[in-house]
Amino acid sequence: MERLVYLDHAATSWPKPPEVGVAMMEVLEHSGANAGRGNHSLAIGAGRVLVKARNQLAGLFSISNAQDIAFTHNTTMGLNMAIKGTLQPGDHVISTMTEHNSVRRPLEYLRQTKGITVDYVKVDQEGQVDLLELQKNFKPNTKMVICNHSSNLLGSILPIGEIGDMAKTHGAVFLVDAAQSAGSLTIDVGKMNIDLLAFPGHKGLLGPQGTGGVYISPALDLEPLLHGGTGSQSENSAQPNVRPDRYEAGTQNAVGIAGLLAGVKKIMSIGTMNIHRQEWLLTQRLMEGLSGIPGIRLLGPGLGSQRSGIVAFVIEGEESAHIAHRLDREYNIAVRAGMHCTPLAHMAVDTLESGAVRASVGVSSTEQDIDRMLAAMIEMYGRARIR
Ligand X SMILES: Cc1ncc(COP(=O)(O)O)c(C=O)c1O
Q: Is 358 in the site for ligand X (CB under 6 A)?
A: no
Which CB, 49 or 158, lies closer to ligand X?
158
Q: Quick check: 313 and 155 in contact, CB under 8 A?
A: no
Which CB, 180 or 320, lies closer to ligand X?
180
74, 252, 283, 360: which one binds ligand X (CB under 6 A): 74
Q: Is 179 in the site for ligand X (CB under 6 A)?
A: yes
8, 68, 126, 177: which one binds ligand X (CB under 6 A): 177
Buried b / exposed e along 233-246 (16+ C-beta atoms within 10 A): eeeeeebbeebbbb
Q: Quick check: 174 and 163 in contact, CB under 8 A?
A: yes
13, 31, 76, 86: which one binds ligand X (CB under 6 A): 76
100, 104, 266, 285: which one binds ligand X (CB under 6 A): 100
95, 102, 252, 253: which one binds ligand X (CB under 6 A): 102
Which CB, 360 or 365, lies closer to ligand X?
360
Q: Is 354 in the site for ligand X (CB under 6 A)?
A: no
Q: Is 13 in the site for ligand X (CB under 6 A)?
A: no
Q: Which stretch binds ligand X (CB under 6 A): 117-125, 175-183, 218-226, 252-260?
A: 175-183
Window 186-245: residues binding ligand X (CB under 6 A): 200, 212
Q: Is 31 in the site for ligand X (CB under 6 A)?
A: no
Least distance from ligand X to the Cβ atom of residue 263, Å: 14
Which CB, 179 or 194, lies closer to ligand X?
179
Nearest to 290 by CA among 309, 275, 301, 303: 303
Q: Which stretch binds ligand X (CB under 6 A): 30-38, 69-77, 256-264, 345-353?
A: 69-77
180, 320, 354, 360: which one binds ligand X (CB under 6 A): 180
CA 328, CA 331: separation in Å to the nearest integer? 6
Least distance from ligand X to the Cβ atom of residue 343, Å: 13
Q: Which stretch binds ligand X (CB under 6 A): 74-82, 83-91, 258-266, 300-308?
A: 74-82
CA 10 to chain centre: 8
Least distance from ligand X to the Cβ atom of residue 150, Å: 7
* Strand order across the beta sheet in which 212-216 lies: 69-72, 212-216, 196-200, 173-177, 142-148, 92-96, 117-121
Nearest to 280 by CA among 301, 254, 259: 301
Q: Which stretch binds ligand X (CB under 6 A): 158-166, 174-182, 218-226, 289-297?
A: 174-182
Q: Is 181 in the site for ligand X (CB under 6 A)?
A: no
Least distance from ligand X to the Cβ atom of residue 169, Å: 25
Which CB, 122 or 326, lies closer to ligand X?
122
Q: Is 263 in the site for ligand X (CB under 6 A)?
A: no
Q: Is 253 in the site for ligand X (CB under 6 A)?
A: no
Q: Is the dihedral of CA 230, 235, 236, 241 positive or negative?
A: negative
Give CA separation, 340 vs 54, 99, 213, 321, 358, in Å: 30, 11, 22, 12, 9
Which CB, 102 or 320, lies closer to ligand X?
102
Residues that bind ligand X (CB under 6 A): 11, 74-76, 100, 102, 148, 152, 177, 179-180, 200, 212
